[in-house]
Structure 1
Amino acid sequence: MPTVLRWGPYRAFFYSNERGEPPHIHVRAGDFEAKFWLHDLSVAVNAGFPAHEITFTADELVVTLADGRRIATPLAWYPRLRDASALARAHFELMPMGIHWPELDEDLGIAGMLKGRPAV
């Protein structure tokens, strides 16, 4: 999903594959990321599952986690990535709880990928 706010070094955004959770927002600055529940503005506890490597096949996004697990999800689940050029896909940022493609303004949460959730 798109970035909803930039304020100095902070970027507020939503992961497009985190359906089924209470309303919340992620805030990132540098290498730090926080997740806030919106109903009471409390901080959500989430240790995250840091990504280590990202590759694309003809029809899948493959993420290797820092602990060695591999997640392969259909590229069809992520229309912005599916429709993007290989160059745009290759420009991504690994974050503590997900992946950000700045040129595409797309953010995917690792927890959502582990739960098999496509983008909305």
Structure 2
Amino acid sequence: MNTLAIQTDIRVKNVLIHEDAFSVELMDGRTLTTPLAWFPRLLKANPEQLQKWEICGGGYGIHWEEIDEDISTEGLLRGAAAPQNQMQSLV
């Protein structure tokens, strides 16, 4: 019996910033697009700060030093917004 084995690699390849969302290109070819509104620190950041991201966590995360934000690809795949306490503290 043959089964189709799909190789997944959820490490970050690139991040693209849009007007009201950001896209994360994964090493396996998928692209995840998420509203900035899910992450209040990203939503409040200026365009220059948003562009200053770096890959962290062995490729499984994105870090914005200036705005103290970290997002994992696992969280994005689960559709997880920022924790409620973070959202409330920044409002």
Shared fold, TM over 0.5: yes
Q: Which runs of 5+ in 1 are unaligned?
A: 1-47
Q: Which runs of 5+ in 2 are unaligned?
A: 1-8, 84-91
Letter of the aligned partner of 1:89 in structure 2?
Answer: L
| Number of positions where the alignment pairs a residue of Structure 1 with one of Structure 2 | 73
Q: Please report how far the alpha carbon of residue 64 of structure 1 lies from its aligned counterpart in structure 2 after TM superposition.
A: 0.5
Query: In the alignment, what sits opposite 1:98?
Result: 61
Query: Secondary structure of the equivalent of 1:113?
Result: helix
Which structure features the higher share of helix residues?
Answer: 2
Letter of the aligned partner of 2:19 in structure 1?
Answer: A
Among 47, 50, 67, the alignment partner of 1:86 is 47
Instruction: Note the alpha carbon deviations across 1:81-100, whole angstroms, 9 max, x for none.
Output: 01101111111111221100
Question: Percent same amino acid at aligned positions?
Answer: 38
What is the TM-score of this pair, normalised by structure 1? 0.58
Q: Work out whether 1:116 is the aligned partner of 2:66.
A: no
Runs of 4+ in 1 over 6 A off after TM superposition: none
Q: Work out whether 1:70 is the aligned partner of 2:36.
A: no
Higher relative contact order (CA 8 A, sep 6+): 1
What is the TM-score of this pair, normalised by structure 2? 0.75
- How large is the RMSD of aligned CA atoms in angstroms? 1.1
Letter of the aligned partner of 1:86 in structure 2?
Answer: P
